[in-house]
Amino acid sequence: MTLNTAQRLALNLDSHIAIDAGAGTGKTSTIVERVIEHYLTEDQRATRILPRPERPGRLQGGLLVSPMSERIDLNDWGGLLPGEVVLLTFTNLAADEMRDRLRHRIAQLRPGSYSSDKDDQSDPRIRHEGFPEQLLMLLEDAPIGTIDSFFNQLVTPYRSLLGDTLGHDVVTEAGRIRIIEAGINTLWRLPRAAPSR
């Protein structure tokens, strides 16, 4: 993919971005390239400031056909893995499209030096033939979805602590006001730290 200047700026992993552009301008392609950069770049803000999460090590079985010698120990990988990059969209259709494009882009990756040939997706950061295959396997469980589905994933393990009244109902305007008032009243009751001198 040939990127324009704005799209290249969006690949700077050490900055936050907001993409605002019309239909057909390459927003999805730019996001896919940024996510690929997160997967392949070992030195980035996220890997410097965040603790390394628990990782699966060497993936076994499943659909992996590459020999073990061509796979990497994921605990040794310095970049982010698909399960460590959250990708949120507004619709399920957009989430499916994003996952499909990532799947297609990862499937094109191979070890080698950069090339000016747009059909050659070689990348020197890939040092083993089996690594893209490992990324593809991990992509299936990656947090790619709607904002609602992501927050539902976060809350579900703690549902029992939140009560049995959780549902998928839309809150009415009167209910929204009651929730805000309850939150403000809770905040007023929190102990305050003594002012610093």
The pLDDT tens digits for 45-85 are 888 888 888 888 777 667 677 878 888 888 888 899 999 99
Does 177 reside within a domain? no
pLDDT-derived band at 3, boundaries 50, 70, 90: confident
Q: Count CB atoms within 10 A of the CB of residue 10.
A: 21
Number of domain units in the chain: 1
Whether pLDDT at 1 is above 70: no
pLDDT tens for each residue of 11-46: 778 878 777 788 888 888 889 999 999 999 998 888
CA 121, CA 129: separation in Å to the nearest integer?
13
Write down the pLDDT at residue 68. Answer: 81
> CA torsion, points 113, 5, 33, 155, in degrees to nearest 10?
150
On average, the pLDDT of the chain sits at 84
What is the mean predicted confidence (pLDDT) over 180-191? 79
Does 176 reside within a domain? no
CA nearest to 149, candidates 92, 101, 102, 187: 92
Does 117 reside within a domain? yes
Domain range for residue 102? Answer: 5-155
pLDDT tens for each residue of 127-154: 888 899 999 999 999 999 999 999 888 8
Does 180 reside within a domain? no
Whether pLDDT at 187 is above 90: no
Does 91 reside within a domain? yes
pTM: 0.74
Write down the pLDDT at residue 157. Answer: 86
What is the mean predicted confidence (pLDDT) over 114-134? 82
Write down the pLDDT at residue 121. Answer: 79
Query: CATH code at 55?
Result: 3.40.50.300
Does 182 reside within a domain? no
Write down the pLDDT at residue 192. Answer: 61
Write down the pLDDT at residue 194. Answer: 57
What is the mean predicted confidence (pLDDT) over 182-193? 74
Q: Are 77 and 41 in contact (CB under 8 A)?
A: no
Write down the pLDDT at residue 184. Answer: 85
Q: Tell me what percent of the residues of the chain surpass a pLDDT of 70.
A: 88
Does 11 reside within a domain? yes
Q: Are 109 and 132 in contact (CB under 8 A)?
A: yes
Does 170 reside within a domain? no
Write down the pLDDT at residue 5. Answer: 78
Q: Are 13 and 39 in contact (CB under 8 A)?
A: no
